[in-house]
Structure formats: C-alpha cells, structure tokens
Structure 1
Amino acid sequence: MIPLVLVHGFMGGSAQWDLQQDRLARDRPLIVVDLPGFGENNSAPPIDSIPGFADWVVAHLDSLGVTRFHLMGHSMGGMIVQQMARQAPDRIDRLVLYSTGVVGILPGRFETIAQSKERAAQDGVKPTARRIAATWFLDSKTAPKYEACARIAEQTAPAAFDAGLDAMQNWSGAEALGAIRSETLVLWGDGDRTYPWSQTEKLWQGVPDAQLAVVPGCAHAVHLEKPMLFNTLVSDFLAER
C-alpha cells in the first residue's frame, strides 16, 4: 500500500493533522513530518530555502525506507512538495497541492512578508504566531480549532520564523508547473486570506493533470474547519481506480 506523506506549512506541525489520522489512515499508511524549526522538531537547525526543505523531507523518507508515496503539502508545505516533484518525480504517485500557490511572495496575502517580520520583531514570535493563526480560519479566534492550531504555531523557533519567511519569499515554482507528472488535486478554501484565487487558478491551469476542489465557507485551514469534507475529497482522489 502506497503511504501518504503530509507536509505542514509555515508555523505548522505534525499535530495539526490529528483530524485526518482516522479517516485518511483507514486506507493507507500516513507519514507526518515536523519540519526543522517547527512543531515537535523546533530544536533542529532551521532551513531557509524551499529546495532545502525538500531535500530534508526526501532524506527523512529515505531514512524510513520509503521509496514511493502519495504527497500532500499545505501552504508553505505545498511549495515544498512542488519542489519535491522537481527533485524526485519518479517517487511521487499522486500529489495534493492544498491552500498553496506558485510563488512564495504571496501576492494578496493578509500582510506582506516584511510586515510579518516587523511584527514578530516588535511583539515577539509567539504573539505573532497566534495572530497569524487566527487569519487561517474564517471565524478567526472564535473558530473551534483555532486554539489548538495557535498552540502548534507558538512552537515555532524564532530563527525558523524568519528562515521560513525567507524561504518562501525567495522561491517560485511557476516555470516548473508544466513538468509535474503526477496526477494532482488542487484544493482551496474560498475564503483563504493567504492565497487568493489567482494563485489557485495558476496551479489548476498550469499542472497538466490537475483536478480542482474548492471548499465553500473555509479559509486557509480547510482540514480543520471542514475536516469531514476535506478527508472525503482527499480519500476519493487517492482511491485506487
């Protein structure tokens, strides 16, 4: 059975996938990672480039003896898995690009990367992490899963905060979209404040074998806002045909 590898985004962690464990693990093994500087791996030296993150994930899978896999990336994790599709195309079966885009400068984001850095320098990383996590939910801080998500975001190491923003700002996958060979699902919440529709449309139109799922009434964290629908969409996409 081909496993599904889940790659979280900026200020995320493996714990954010708790609502996916039962449903998505029903049909295949799940491999969840904590990127260096984030989540339960926040003591590891941070990485400041998307290719560097991709190399780390591939090396981690090598250490587990995993040679072929389905791959899902959320937000910054979506950039990482696009990069992995460049670096290890023969190892990826199906690909899920979730709430992500083709460039890391995040045009239309709720604030610029420079502003996020300034706020973190002024207010500290933990308060900034909680503030940014609120933008991931349509209902902001009143969303049922906000607090759990914010606690994961708070684990981000200060050096990893800046390094992650630098990694995104300096990356573009636009020119490589047409070379992605895996069957791909592009999944997006229609209220996303981080990635506008223009970014999602470029993924959908640019990847040769791409399907699109737009979830209404969700922001950046569809997997936490509407987990049953999210899990059904991903499970159906990965189902054997």
Structure 2
Amino acid sequence: MTDAPRLLPVQEFGADAGGVPVVFLHGFGGDAAGWINIQTALARRVHSLAFDLPGHGKAIDWPTIGHAGRTAHAVTDTLDGLGLEKLHLVGHSMGGAISTMIAMRSPERIASLTLLAPGGFGEEINHRLLRRYASARDEEQIQILLEQFFGWESAVPPKLAAHIAETRAAPGAIEALETMVEAIIDGERQKTLPRDKLEELPCPVKVIWGTQDRVLPTRQAHRLPGPIAAHVFERVGHMLQHEIPREVASLVMENVRAGTN
C-alpha cells in the first residue's frame, strides 16, 4: 500500500464562509503567519488557507527542499489531500512564482490568480540581500536586513524579527533557507518563468507591486501580456501584505469576485 502524501501545515480562517477557498503562499524566508492580517480581513467573506511551504515554518523538515517544481508539487498534493478542486490562488514573491507555476500547470483549477511582487518575472534580483537574509540567525541582524524588504517609510512589524529568529533556531532551518535561495538564484540572476503564458490563463490575474521594492524591481510589472491587471503603489516596498494590508485585501477580494462570475 502506498503511503498518502504528506500535507503542508495550514493556517485556516473563515471556514464557515463557504464558496471557493482562497489559498495563500508566502515568500522566501516567511511562513503562513505573514498572511494573518489579510486572512482576518477576509474571514467573514471567504474561506482561506495559508500554507507553510517546504523549508519554512512548520515544514522546515520537509524531505525535498529547494526545487521550485517540487515545491509546487507539495502544494498541489496538499490541495488534493484537502479535496480542493477549485481555488483562488494568492502568492507573494517566491510564493508568487510557485502560484504562477501551479496556474500554468493546472489552469482549470484556478478561479483567480493574485500575485504580490512575484518571483520569476525577470532576471534582476537583490541576490546579496537574499543570501544574507538566508544565513541570518540573531534577531538584531534579521531586523537590519528586514528593513530593506520594506519601503523607506514603512516600519517593520513589531516582533517580526523575533518570530523569524525563533523559527531559525530549529535544527536545519538555516541550511534549508540556504539551499532554497540557491534554487531561486542562478549566480547573480533570478531564474525566470515564461510570463508570456500568463495571457493564456482563463482566470483573472492581478499583479501588485511597490515602487520602493528593493528585492525585485517594479519594472518587472511593466508590459505584462494580455489583460493582466497591474497595480503599482507608490512609497511601498516588497512586503505589500504588511505595508498596505487593506489595499491588498481589497484587490484580492476584487479578483475573487471576478473569478466567481
């Protein structure tokens, strides 16, 4: 008998809301907890789930870490295990790249796709920052690096650095992140997705970016193919779900409605 696939850890809100659920995928070095603000804001209107991706959060000890394709398979295996045949998908940064990959592989499954500063949309990436961030262990060092992920006028949420430092104290946590960052970056460039295929997706697609993103340049949101909606916010950095949670929640809900019709 074949063992059932292991399921990714999940953070769930609004289970009583019904309808097609919204699934959130976090970025590199984050975890499901980074979506609490957005999930709470939407809890009365939608059922939402946020996963810890392999090598992160409660999935630090995941058996296969680093390869984007395997991460996407871990997500789809979890969706299958939870019986989620149709869903709205929201991804940030690395989670945006994984979301895009899943949507391109299984377009019939995705009701809407919302991407926050997604990875894979261009070769330019702040590889030095990400590599330093992957190796950071103590709270003070993490705090200093986190400030570069946010816009110049945006404060890092209280206790975020402490939370990240705590998760990195787990055995194998730093090694997992160092493995993953090298899977994202090829030398000094980011590995890319065939973003031209976005126009082939049958669902509504939104891309959200900040002009002060110091991880992935905002221009990667320019000249997107087909009817892709690009929303670019002034004075906002890479961490949109923390910096402008109301606007992000509103745009996610707008795309959910468009994908429900």
TM-score band by shorter chain is 0.7 to 0.9
Tell me which residue corresponds to 2:72.
54
TM-score by length of 2: 0.78
Give the Cα separation in 2 of the matches to 1:144 and 1:9. 16
For residue 76 of structure 1, report the CA deviation from its aligned partner.
0.4
Gaps of 5+ in 1: none
Q: Which amino acid aligns with 1:180?
A: L
Tell me whether 1:168 sits opposite 2:184 in the alignment: yes
Give the Cα separation in 2 of the matches to 1:150 and 1:182. 38
Give the Cα separation in 2 of the matches to 1:199 and 1:154. 33
CA RMSD of aligned residues (A): 2.5
Q: Which segment is superposed worse, 95-104 or 54-63? A: 95-104
Give the Cα separation in 2 of the matches to 1:2 and 1:120. 35
Tell me which residue corresponds to 2:44.
26
Higher helix share: 1
Gaps of 5+ in 2: 1-18
Query: In the alignment, is the contact (CA less than 8 A) between 1:97 and 1:185 conserved in 2?
Result: yes
1:168-196 superposed Cα distances (whole Å, 9 cap, x missing partner): 12532135434333210111112111111
Give the fraction of aligned pairs with identical amino acids, expressed as a percent: 29
1:112 alignment partner, one of 127, 130, 148: 127
Query: In the alignment, is the contact (CA less than 8 A) between 1:182 and 1:209 conserved in 2?
Result: no
Q: How does 1:11-160 map to 2 (within 5 A)?
A: 11-103=29-121, 105=123, 107=124, 109=125, 111-112=126-127, 116-117=130-131, 119=132, 124-127=135-138, 129-139=142-152, 143-145=155-157, 147-148=159-160, 151-152=163-164, 155-156=167-168, 157-160=173-176
> CA separation of 1:129/1:63 partners in 2, compared to 1, >3 Å: closer, same or farther?
farther
Give the Cα separation in 1 of the matches to 2:106 and 2:246. 31
Give the Cα separation in 1 of the matches to 2:164 and 2:95. 15
> CA separation of 1:237/1:177 partners in 2, compared to 1, >3 Å: closer, same or farther?
closer
Give the Cα separation in 2 of the matches to 1:214 and 1:149. 27
**Bigger radius of gyration, 1 or 2?**
2
Q: Which amino acid aligns with 1:212?
A: A
The alignment partner of 1:166 has SS state of helix
Q: Which amino acid aligns with 1:65?
A: G
Aligned residues: 230
For residue 153 of structure 1, report the CA deviation from its aligned partner.
6.6
Give the Cα separation in 1 of the matches to 2:64 and 2:254. 35
Tell me which residue corresponds to 1:10.
28
TM-score by length of 1: 0.84
Q: How does 1:151-230 map to 2 (within 5 A)?
A: 151-152=163-164, 155-156=167-168, 157-169=173-185, 171-174=191-194, 176-202=197-223, 205-206=224-225, 208-230=226-248
Give the Cα separation in 2 of the matches to 1:227 and 1:138. 14
Give the Cα separation in 2 of the matches to 1:183 and 1:168. 26
Q: Which amino acid aligns with 1:189?
A: G
Q: Which amino acid aligns with 2:84?
A: V
For residue 231 of structure 1, report the CA deviation from its aligned partner.
1.3
The alignment partner of 2:222 has SS state of helix
Give the Cα separation in 2 of the matches to 1:9 and 1:80. 9
1:144-170 superposed Cα distances (whole Å, 9 cap, x missing partner): 515426623762511221222122125
